[in-house]
Structure 1
């Protein structure tokens, strides 16, 4: 791998416990990704590879949950600075951004777990309608992104809760995601092994390779999501 490339992986681990049958397998798969940047959604710190630098999106996304659970965890091989989280609206507890000090220069990481279609409809606060929390989070991301320094590369990773291109989601929802993410290339869209994915990696870097893994090992279900790792390189001019 080129010394200027980085690897970025993401996986929704569906609240896998650190013990029991699932936990060790999940932790092994995350470690095997050998990612410089790792975004784990619906997980806990005990699942992350040893070492590195870790921040999360906070512990309040409107649901009562176990104290160690986090909707979004961001782990970097390099130090993280300029950390910011969304604390209100659809992105509360689901969005964290930070700068990582990669060897070739700083990179802005935007780690997300965009709400699923029925977030807070019949569970949680029970004050939402279908897709309303999802769309509100997208609106927040649309306002957040212009604040990023355009001279610093950006990587977006996590659970987008939409298949790309559109499968079953309403056209207006797919169109809004495309509009918000249009400032980056979604490297994990389209026909891909173990896809179509809803865990995605997007950036304004060049993708030189994509690898996915299944949410199962033999007969054991590890997650209802597939995981993915991308190799990213600076754009050549």
Structure 2
């Protein structure tokens, strides 16, 4: 199963940046795509979308979502809240059918360091919402059933291993990860820096390949984030999971 993730930086599908991002990802023939900071019509109608709530504390712009999940198959059991403690509008979870059977996908967009510090509601200290999100997400993930493979994907706003984030902030990331395998940590082929978006999953999934999409094209910025693609298979020991 192939999974792609790319923060579109709000570029519309018809812009040259959006067309480039969409074209590159779709050409890779993934079954699942996560696009943080995207519009709810970013992919063609044959893709099934599941979206975070529109209100993330900043002025509402129609169609914008902090997290968009896309599948070749319909979504079911969609949850766009997660937990009341999570900073709003940055989470969506659902089940979809893939070549590996049913998979649960958790789409996230962890607030950046200055979320609601000098813009938005202006009622937070630096890193406050980021830490709050990680702590709440940890609780959500611990409550998720182990009835099928689970993928967590999106904008984590931290490098793994640590680069710019303060140690105290990185230390909050580790408990959230728990037993998840982070398939996009370290240096990624195709990228000139560590990514801040990530794709990770439960132990019943095994990574076979990982590749990055550069945020630049011929010296021009396509996005402020690099894109990612992974291939995973079911662990032979775990066996097949039943259809939900």
Check conservation: 2:8, 2:18, Cα contact below 8 A: no
- Partners of 2:154 and 2:69 in 1: how far apart? 9
- Is 1:197–2:192 an aligned residue pair? no
Task: Quote the residue 2:240 is aligned against.
Answer: none
SS of the counterpart of 1:12?
coil
Equivalent residue runs for 1:29-108 within 5 Å: 29-86=24-81, 88-108=84-104
Q: Give runs of ≥4 in structure 1 deviating > 6 Å.
A: none
Q: TM-score, normalised by structure 2?
A: 0.90
Task: Quote the residue 2:5 is aligned against.
Answer: 10
* Residues 1:103 and 1:213: Cα distance change in structure 2 (over 3 Å): closer
Task: Quote the residue 1:223 is aligned against.
Answer: 223
* Residues 1:88 and 1:148: Cα distance change in structure 2 (over 3 Å): closer
Check conservation: 1:90, 1:134, Cα contact below 8 A: no
- Partners of 1:111 and 1:139 in 2: how far apart? 16
Deviation of 1:209 after TM superposition, in Å, equals 0.3
Offset from partner CA, 1:89-138 (integer Å, 9 cap, x none): 44311110001122432111000011001100000000011111011111
SS of the counterpart of 1:111?
strand
Task: Quote the residue 1:214 is aligned against.
Answer: 214
Q: TM-score, normalised by structure 1?
A: 0.93
Choose which of 8, 18, 23 in structure 1 pairs with 2:18: 23
Deviation of 1:211 after TM superposition, in Å, equals 1.2
Check conservation: 1:7, 1:232, Cα contact below 8 A: yes
- Partners of 1:103 and 1:26 in 2: how far apart? 24
RMSD: 1.5
Deviation of 1:60 after TM superposition, in Å, equals 0.4
- Partners of 1:19 and 1:154 in 2: how far apart? 32
